[in-house]
């Protein structure tokens, strides 16, 4: 019995959190419960549900793309498309990511399937970083959020692409192998789509997508809950009060982006609201760091990659974003 509980702890935790959210939602729509809940708990529930509702459509898109990759893309295709040279592979993956309208909520299952099909880890990380950060939808929303001003959108695109390149190049030098957890790596068995009709392949794609959704969904729920709890019990005001100098304000906005765990399609409007408080470099820190790595996304990455790899990538991105923006802040 204890072994069953331990092996299914993440699933049980996810279901309990969903049940708690539904219970609190019923309370918020005036279904009378036999006890009065504290305002902080109701606020946590509102933030939790808003993160889930915002993220779920992008996760659904992500798992559908992952299902298509699993069924319709073979290892032979990957070998033909990905350059053997590490530098060219990084540049190509970052460029494809910049054109791919993905959100950080749904990018992890896509990257897992790509790695399972043979994409090298440095190319996968380049795609994972640029996809949510500088795709056409994100750039358009940034342009509109800052009053139809192309400057911030251009800086986000240019600096973000450069930072993603540096991070992916660093990963190519520091890590060997695919860095997937052993349990997940063993499930990535090759498919032979040519042996089946299109209808069978289509249903196989849907089956893989459903499995992927339930596999990643529990980590999304847990990550959203943790992000909501941090936002509720560590108010943003505490962070904002510490951001007075250039370095501290940049760290504050990066920390805020990590905690808020916003979808990249909407974060520009939140970032623009801080324009009168913080310098442009700090706003760019918010816009660039958040889509690359936030609290919700970190939990999802930990479900796929080795713990040391995720922590190393997190520290790597923090360092590159911080020092790059500190160097260029006098020129923007």
Q: What is the DSSP string of 248-276?
A: HHHHHHHHHHHHH---TTTHHHHHHTTTT
**Rounded CA gap, 62 and 60, in Å?**
5
Is pLDDT of 185 > 70? no
Question: Given CA atoms 317, 321, 327, 331 in this order, what sign does their dihedral have?
Answer: positive
Q: How confident is the model at residue 288 (pLDDT cuts 50, 70, 90)?
A: very high
Mean pLDDT computed over 221-242: 75
Mean pLDDT computed over 258-263: 87
Residue 28 falls within a domain, yes or no? no
Mean pLDDT computed over 3-29: 58
User: What is the pLDDT, as a whole number, of residue 104?
Assistant: 80
User: What is the pLDDT, as a whole number, of residue 243?
Assistant: 64
Mean pLDDT computed over 121-131: 94
Is pLDDT of 183 > 80? no
Q: Are 123 and 84 in contact (CB under 8 A)?
A: no
Which 8-state DSSP code applies to residue 33?
Answer: P
User: What is the pLDDT, as a whole number, of residue 167?
Assistant: 97
Residue 228 falls within a domain, yes or no? yes
**Considering the chain, what is the average pLDDT of its residues?**
82
Which 8-state DSSP code applies to residue 34?
Answer: S
Is pLDDT of 297 > 50? yes
Report, in angstroms and rounded to the nearest whole number, the Rg of the chain calculated over CA atoms.
20
Residue 38 falls within a domain, yes or no? no
Using CB atoms within 10 Å of the CB of residue 128, give its burial: 0 to 12 exposed, 13 to 18 middle, 19+ buried.
buried
**Rounded CA gap, 129 and 93, in Å?**
10
Mean pLDDT computed over 160-167: 97
**Rounded CA gap, 247 and 281, in Å?**
10
HSE-CB for 180 with a 13 A CA cutoff: 22
Residue 40 falls within a domain, yes or no? no
Residue 4 falls within a domain, yes or no? no
User: What is the pLDDT, as a whole number, of residue 31?
Assistant: 53
* Structural domain range at position 184: 57-331
- 176: which residues sit within 8 A by CB, 6+ positions away? none
**Rounded CA gap, 289 and 150, in Å?**
19
Percent pLDDT > 70 in the chain is: 81
Angle subtended by helix axes 280-292 and 307-328, to nearest 10? 160
Mean pLDDT computed over 178-186: 66
Residue 131 falls within a domain, yes or no? yes
Residue 29 falls within a domain, yes or no? no
Mean pLDDT computed over 92-108: 86
User: What is the pLDDT, as a whole number, of residue 52?
Assistant: 79
Mean pLDDT computed over 69-77: 78
Residue 70 falls within a domain, yes or no? yes
- 281: which residues sit within 8 A by CB, 6+ positions away? 246, 250, 325, 326, 328, 329, 332
Lowest mean pLDDT among 180-184, 275-279, 318-322: 180-184
HSE-CB for 259 with a 13 A CA cutoff: 19
- CA distances from residue 37 to 25, 41, 45 in whole angstroms, order as listed: 12, 7, 11
List, in sequence order, every residue forming a beta bridge with 180; answer none if it has no partner.
305
Is pLDDT of 191 > 50? no
**Rounded CA gap, 14 and 12, in Å?**
5
Q: Name the domain count of the chain.
A: 1
User: What is the pLDDT, as a whole number, of residue 189?
Assistant: 45
User: What is the pLDDT, as a whole number, of residue 254?
Assistant: 94
Question: Given CA atoms 309, 175, 186, 72 in this order, what sign does their dihedral have?
Answer: positive
Question: Given CA atoms 251, 257, 259, 260 in this order, what sign does their dihedral have?
Answer: positive
Mean pLDDT computed over 280-287: 95
**Rounded CA gap, 10 and 208, in Å?**
20
């Amino acid at each position: 019995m204890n072994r069953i509980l331990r092996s299914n702890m993440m699933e049980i935790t996810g279901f309990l959190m969903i049940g708690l959210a539904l219970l609190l939602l019923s309370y918020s729509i005036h279904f009378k419960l036999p006890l009065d809940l504290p305002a902080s708990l109701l606020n946590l529930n509102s933030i939790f549900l808003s993160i889930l509702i915002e993220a779920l459509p992008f996760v659904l898109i992500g798992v559908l793309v992952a299902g298509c990759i699993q069924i319709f893309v073979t290892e032979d295709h990957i070998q033909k498309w990905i350059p053997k040279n590490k530098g060219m592979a990084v540049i190509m993956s970052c460029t494809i990511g910049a054109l791919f309208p993905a959100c950080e909520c749904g990018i992890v299952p896509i990257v897992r399937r790509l790695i399972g099909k043979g994409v090298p880890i440095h190319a996968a990380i380049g795609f994972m970083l640029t996809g949510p950060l500088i795709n056409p939808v994100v750039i358009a929303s940034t342009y509109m959020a800052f009053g139809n001003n192309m400057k911030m959108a251009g800086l986000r695109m240019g600096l973000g692409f450069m930072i993603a390149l540096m991070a992916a190049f660093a990963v190519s030098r520091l890590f060997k192998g695919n860095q997937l957890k052993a349990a997940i790596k063993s499930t990535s068995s090759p498919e032979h789509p040519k042996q089946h009709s299109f209808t069978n392949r289509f249903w196989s794609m849907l089956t893989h997508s459903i499995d992927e959704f339930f596999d990643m969904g529990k980590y999304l729920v847990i990550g959203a809950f943790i992000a909501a709890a941090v936002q509720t019990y560590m108010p943003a005001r505490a962070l904002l009060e510490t951001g007075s100098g250039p370095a501290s304000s940049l760290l504050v906005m990066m920390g805020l982006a990590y905690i808020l765990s916003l979808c990249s399609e909407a974060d520009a409007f939140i970032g623009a609201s801080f324009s009168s408080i913080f310098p442009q470099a700090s706003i760019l820190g918010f816009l660039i760091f958040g889509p690359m790595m936030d609290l919700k996304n970190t939990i999802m990455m930990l479900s796929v990659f080795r713990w040391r790899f995720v922590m190393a990538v997190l520290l790597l991105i923090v360092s590159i974003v911080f020092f790059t923006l500190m160097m260029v802040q006098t020129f923007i």
